[in-house]
Amino acid sequence: MATILLDEQCTIPGDLATLADFRRWTQSVEFPATGRIDWVASRIEVDMSPEDIFTHGTLKTAIVARLWPLANERGMHLFTGETRVSSPAANLSVEPDVVAVSEASFEAGLVRLVPSSGGQPDRFVELEGGPDLVVEIVSDSSVAKDTRRLPAAYHAAGVKEFWLVDARGAAISFTIWRHDPSGYVEARMPGGMPRSTLFNCGFTIERSRNPQGRFVYDVVARPDA
């Protein structure tokens, strides 16, 4: 039986003993329409807290806005929001903040599109396998999961690049991890800037305040020289 972390707003069926059980539940009408509910190494983790607007929501939008044209140029699909990624190899089923998958990964069978239960053409509900990129933005309720449990699970799933961003403090913490057989390796340019192998760019995340005093973000990409 799975270990269940339960929020009072969400009722978890008592018969979810395996990843396959959990995945079936996520595709059923009983699955909650809001909140983030993940399966990480036989542990059900429930977070029904709303995203913080200025340390999570607007930051995610800025990351997607910067990556969207870069992904298109490289034949990659960019997903955000409620895009479920499952990996039997990693005993994992999660909804990351941002996901990118290349056509090459689909063609090589590294990632598979899971059709909707209705079987309609071009309708899919899940990505199975190891995406090219996963981005997680840390929130107050996800610190241990994002920083300790998910990196190991994403590595086991074969995720090529993992970005971890934390904008809750006085300074933004931003790290890009590259997949290596022995584990994730921090990837940086010679000057120390986080570097993406997928996009052949260094990235920084800059934060300032608008005239009204609210946080705004700029994700800056610097191509390799």
Q: In what order do the strands lie in the sheet with 161-166?
A: 76-80, 98-102, 133-137, 161-166, 173-180, 183-186
Query: Which parts of the chain are beta strand (E)?
Result: 3-5, 36-40, 43-47, 76-80, 84-87, 92-94, 98-102, 111-115, 124-129, 133-137, 161-166, 173-180, 183-186, 195-196, 201-209, 215-223
pLDDT at residue 1, as a whole number: 47
**Structural domains for the chain:** 51-223 (3.90.1570.10)
The pLDDT tens digits for 151-174 are 999 999 999 999 999 999 999 999
Report the distance separating Cα 38 and Cα 44, nearest Å.
6
Report the distance separating Cα 192 and Cα 112, nearest Å.
35
Look up the pTM and report it.
0.93
Q: Give the residues of the chain that fall short of pLDDT 50.
A: 1, 3, 5
| List of residues 6+ apart from 96 with CB closer than 8 A | 83, 85, 134, 135, 136
Which residue from 141, 43, 143, 163 is spatially nearest to 92, judged by alpha carbons?
A: 43
Report the distance separating Cα 218 and Cα 203, nearest Å.
10
pLDDT at residue 119, as a whole number: 78
pLDDT at residue 17, as a whole number: 93
Report the distance separating Cα 161 and Cα 154, nearest Å.
9
CA 27 to chain centroid, in Å, comes to 19
pLDDT at residue 6, as a whole number: 53
pLDDT at residue 225, as a whole number: 66
The pLDDT tens digits for 78-114 are 999 889 999 999 999 999 999 999 999 999 999 999 9
pLDDT at residue 9, as a whole number: 61
φ/ψ of 122, rounded to 5, equals: 65, 20
